[in-house]
Amino acid sequence: MSQNKAVKRVAVVGTGVIGASWTAYFLACGLKVNATDPSDGAEQRLRESVARLWPSLETIGLHSEASQDNLAFYPVLEDALQGADFVQENGPENEALKVELFQRMDRALPEEVILASSSSGLLMSKVQSACRFPGRVVLGHPFNPPHLIPLVEVVGGELTSAQAVEQAMSFYAGIGKRPIHPRKEVKGHIANRLQAALWREAFHLVDQGVASVQDIDIAIAHGPGLRWALLGPFLNLHLSGGAGGIEHLLDHLGGPIESWWDDLGSPSMTPELKAKVAQGVRALLRDLDEGGFEAERDRLLVDLVAAKSRATSLP
């Protein structure tokens, strides 16, 4: 793994599932990490998580300076921020809490230190509103699990400087991520909105009795999901157009695709629908070792990411 030359120490604020994954990845890149989380037992859980994730990172390849010993934990936020060159925040999805948290971090750090949030859906224009230096506040939204999935969405708020966005993009790219820069703030950013569109129809099909939870999971995991792991929706459409490419495809299937859009559902998260989906998931898990299949998923993700990194023709 590579290491960003300008950033040597990262403060990870919030060490739940996402924060722990980020911590492991930063350490694997040879960075020093100051971590903080106010919950009881957070340090022990974090160190156990890093140790559990480390073998996957070893398979991908560690930086020559990578070490779990480069992790320091601080119960107090301001102590963890000392000496940090970059901050990756992973607190709860609560706007008021994040505004206060970023205000505290902003007070404690020099103006040049980027404050990045892993928020799944909050807008940085709101999060940066109480900061002295709002220009350095950016979204740095990973895709779970961050230690394996390369995607990071980098978005600024209304007051974020173009330089801060550029610096964040450079930092993430420098440690092996694939950052993208959405041009506008929207709820859920890009990847989660695309997921939400699929979830919406998946829940609708279950609600209407068209398909079971298992049917839908098989349809995606053994169908389009395999292609989506290699190419995005537009290039997959292009290949489906044969020699005529995307133009031929849209000329011939544009109308039918639009008719499918018109027929898509708008389900509501009723207690009945939530129970129906949960029952389907539990039935699907009944004959599986849940811990085992999560570990196997991670092993296959490692292999897939490694294989894609060796590809010479894929974007």
Please tell me whether the overall predicted TM-score, pTM, comes out greater than 0.75 for this model.
Answer: yes
SS3 assignment, position 29? coil
Q: What value does the mean pLDDT take over residues 98-127?
A: 97
Q: Number of folded domains in the chain?
A: 2
Smallest Cα–Cα separation from 118: which of 158, 85, 75, 147? 147
Domain boundary among 149, 180, 211: 180
Q: Give tens-digit pLDDT for 10-44.
A: 999 999 999 999 999 999 999 999 999 999 999 99
In this structure, is the dihedral angle defined by the CA atoms of residues 24, 27, 31 and 33, taken in order, positive or negative? positive
Q: How far apart are CA 136 and CA 111, in angstroms?
A: 7
Q: What value does the mean pLDDT take over residues 244-248?
A: 96
Q: Give tens-digit pLDDT for 279-314.
A: 999 999 887 877 788 888 889 999 998 898 899 998
Smallest Cα–Cα separation from 10: which of 2, 38, 27, 109? 27
- 137-142 sheet: strands from edge to edge: 71-73, 32-36, 9-13, 86-89, 114-117, 137-142, 151-156, 178-180
Mean pLDDT rounded to a whole number for the chain: 95
Per-residue model confidence (pLDDT) at position 37: 97
Does 169 share its domain with 27?
Answer: yes
Q: Give tens-digit pLDDT for 129-160.
A: 999 999 999 999 999 999 999 999 999 999 99
> In terms of residue numbers, what domain contains 273?
191-230+268-310
Does 61 share its domain with 163?
Answer: yes
CATH of the domain at 216: 1.10.1040.10
Per-residue model confidence (pLDDT) at position 289: 79
Does 78 share its domain with 200?
Answer: no
Percent of residues, the chain, with pLDDT higher than 90: 89
The verdict on residue 254 lying in a domain is no
pLDDT band at 69 (very low <50, low <70, confident <90, very high): very high
Per-residue model confidence (pLDDT) at position 276: 96
Per-residue model confidence (pLDDT) at position 139: 97
pLDDT at 4 over 70: no
Per-residue model confidence (pLDDT) at position 5: 63
Q: Give tens-digit pLDDT for 253-274.
A: 999 999 999 999 999 999 999 9
Does 87 share its domain with 53?
Answer: yes
The verdict on residue 33 lying in a domain is yes
The verdict on residue 315 lying in a domain is no
